[in-house]
Amino acid sequence: MVGTTVLLLLGLLAIGLPVAAALGVLALTLDSLFAPIPLTLAAGEIAWNTSKDFLLVAIPLFVLLGEILLRAGVAERTYAALSIWLGRLPGGLMHANIAACALFAATSGSSVATAATIGTVALPQAQRFGYDEKLFAGSLAAGGTLGILIPPSINIILYAVLTDTSIPRLYLAALVPGVLLALGFMLVAALLARSSAPRDQPHAARRLRVRLFALFDLAPPFLIFLLVVGSIYAGWATPTEAASLGVVGALALAAAYRRLDWPMLKAALESTVKTTSMILVIVIAAAILNFVLSALGITRQITSTLVDIGLSPWAMFIAMVIFYLILGCFMETLSMMITTVPVVVPVMVAAGFDPVWLGVVIIVLVEAALITPPVGLNLFVVQSLRPHGRIEDVVQGVLPFLSAMIALLALLALAPGLALWLPQRIMG
């Protein structure tokens, strides 16, 4: 039955069916083939119970936060400031690409939004300053993945909901690995860059006064990050309430930059509704599928099979890494998380792995799925912003950055404290 389930899912995705529809059709098919009674009669109750979770309210709020910041011009100001500070380093503006992605990730919570926003600002600079366009595009696609690791992250919220794990602990656990991954990307850029700096960097950018003045444009992302994440750890707000505080802060910034008007707000709200609807439809469809799988005993069968194999905990860890890296080549990140986490995490926790540490590892693996062909979303996002060239160029440019992700996974395996020290220190 497990093989039938996997083949059906892959077949539905292969014919181009939307992910939510594929999950729903799979649930109905399994129900009609194997269930003695129609299990999907409970679909309405499952959909309601899934969608009413208070934590899920944070998703549209974080999406709206990113949309407002995008339209308020925060990304352009941040990128310009970082290019002044980092443009003279080996690798030049590719460091600004990654650092800007990291800062925007700390406010938007979405990898696709991060890649699209920073890519729109940065890509025109590649040809102007004579960069290797493949590597430049690769740095943007890789940097965009930081959106689902550096808090606040929509994917971390979903992991918390699926596994009943503390969001504040997960946010703290992801912070250090997120910074390390950004530094790893910058190291790759420095090692592979063909030119050490833009060939016509403005002389004014080297003046200390100009560089110090640019720091003012770096303040807004930090302030939003402190408002959202700081309010959670100060005990002033839940993650959902903190997201609403972030939206208020973003609106204040938009007003300060004189970008707050009805057309801008309408566009931000429309985009938020579209993105949130897509996410929640997938969540609900996956919840119905998971109910059917559990009722038919498929989840229990998978778990018992993995346990009966008798693999050591670290052999199971390596198998999990390989599984996610392969699956990430064919599935979109949200659907991959929602369909696999309820099965994988209980097995790994039973093997002795900490669920918070495991959450960080799975998020890093899901990040890799964003830049692995043929369905890596960030590859298509960056390619859609380029005025010319093929998507194969973006793929070639991003592959070296995968080495930084593999290195981070190895570090997390060898030193779990990289993820666990901060939550243990702050929250006990």
pLDDT at position 212 over 60: yes
pLDDT in tens, 179-195: 999 999 999 998 887 54
Q: Please report which confidence band the pLDDT of residue 197 belongs to, taking 50, 70 and 90 as the band edges.
A: very low
Average pLDDT, the chain: 83
How confident is the model over 233-255, as a mean pLDDT?
89
Angle at 305 between CA 299 and CA 311, to 5 degrees: 130
User: pTM to 2 decimals?
Assistant: 0.83
Query: Could you report the per-residue pLDDT of 26-78, keeping only the tens digit for each?
Result: 888 877 877 777 776 777 887 888 777 777 788 888 888 888 887 888 878 88
Query: How many Å apart are CA 377 and CA 399, to the nearest integer?
Result: 14
Lowest mean pLDDT among 153-167, 237-251, 372-386: 372-386
Of the two residues 141 and 45, the one the predictor is more confident about is 141
pLDDT-derived band at 199, boundaries 50, 70, 90:
very low
Q: What pLDDT score does 262 carry?
A: 93
Which carries the bigger pLDDT value, residue 116 or residue 209? 116
- Whether the CB-CB separation of 115 and 101 falls below 8 Å is answered with yes
Q: What does the block give as tokens for 407?
A: 């290195």
pLDDT at 2 over 70: no
First to last CA, the chain: 43
Of all residues in the chain, the percent with pLDDT exceeding 70 is 89
Mean pLDDT in residue range 225-239: 85
Angle between helices 333-350 and 313-327 (to 10 degrees): 170
Flag whether pLDDT at 99 surpasses 70. yes
354 pLDDT exceeds 80? Answer: yes
Predicted local distance difference test score (pLDDT) of residue 204 = 43
